[in-house]
Amino acid sequence: MDLGFKAKEVTPDGRDRTIKSTLAMNAKYCLLSLLWLLMLGTTGRAQDECLTDFYWLVDKIEKDYPGYRLKSAAREGELAALKRDLTQRIQQRPDSCATYLARYVSWFGDHHLSLSRSRPATVGSAAVAEEAPPVEDLSTLVTVPQSLEGVWRGFGGDIGILKATESTYKVVSVSLKNRVAGQLLYHIHYDAQRGYEIREGTEARPVTLKLAGQVLEMAGVGYFVKTTGDDFRDQVLLYTYLPEYTSGLNTFALALPRSETTFY
């Protein structure tokens, strides 16, 4: 049986270097093979997970998306070809899973239908405790007429704005979904020339007060109405106000009867 050993090689000082060098080479090949197998195993798991997500998404849209029949009518062959193509792409590049899922959703051309990323909840873990965002004391929250300060109501819940310095405000969650009460969301800065704005890196998004301080618009975020203690009045203003900043979407919350046209 050949164990990979070569003829004996002797160094000038009489030492045998053949076995040592051959064993080192064999160990190197074994390590490379092990790494390759580990990579194959990881790729296989990612592929299986992505295919599972893709099949679930396809089934979910076919069963629960109200506009599915209208969108796929007379285009069933095109949709079937897309499924086959994306399945093949997932098998080849499972690391681009999110791109392929989004491509399938975008085929329907309906902005009501979209995907969003979510992080698994690990409440109570040490990692979450270390990375938890800052939480502000809501007991210091006061409402100042015709000012940013106070509690503001939006479609996803309430936010609060606290004054930090003469030119800086903190935007925190009061009752937003998936946010802790008091969780810091943004910083609003005031500039004498540009006015209020949210700054994120090099990007600055305008923030404006409308209707004598009753409405707050934050470009790219949404709009909110200042709470007055009269829930009915606040809701009427929230649902009838037409914002200046639409975040690139000409969609507004209106009370209309639902019909087939709602979904396309």
Flag whether 261 is in a domain: no
Based on the fold, state whether residues 143 and 228 are members of the same structural domain. yes
DSSP string, 75-113: -HHHHHHHHHHHHHHHHH-GGGHHHHHHHHHHTT--TTS
Flag whether 7 is in a domain: no
Flag whether 125 is in a domain: no
The region of weakest confidence among 46-55, 74-83, 142-151, 247-256 is 247-256
Give residue-wise pLDDT tens across range 5-35. 444 555 555 555 554 555 455 555 555 554 5
Flag whether 12 is in a domain: no
Q: How do strand 195-200 and strand 157-163 relate by DSSP bridges? A: unpaired
Average pLDDT for 239-256: 64
Please give the residue range of the domain that contains residue 183.
131-246
Task: Choose among 125, 124, 103: nearest CA to 114.
Answer: 103
Based on the fold, state whether residues 148 and 188 are members of the same structural domain. yes
Contacts of 18 (CB under 8 A, 6+ apart): 5, 6, 7, 8, 9
Average pLDDT for 159-175: 90
Based on the fold, state whether residues 138 and 47 are members of the same structural domain. no
Q: Decide which of 11 and 161 is more confident.
A: 161
Based on the fold, state whether residues 159 and 78 are members of the same structural domain. no
pLDDT for position 83: 92
Flag whether 259 is in a domain: no
pLDDT for position 42: 45
Based on the fold, state whether residues 88 and 171 are members of the same structural domain. no
CATH of the domain at 187: 2.40.128
Based on the fold, state whether residues 144 and 69 are members of the same structural domain. no
Does residue 224 carry a pLDDT above 70? yes
DSSP string, 17-61: -HHHHHHHHHHHHHHHHHHHHHHHHHHHHHHHHHHHHHHHHHHHH
Flag whether 35 is in a domain: yes
Based on the fold, state whether residues 91 and 183 are members of the same structural domain. no
Number of domains in the chain: 2
* Res. 109 pLDDT band, cuts 50 70 90: confident
Based on the fold, state whether residues 53 and 96 are members of the same structural domain. yes
What's the chain's average pLDDT?
A: 75
pLDDT for position 243: 81
Flag whether 149 is in a domain: yes
Flag whether 203 is in a domain: yes
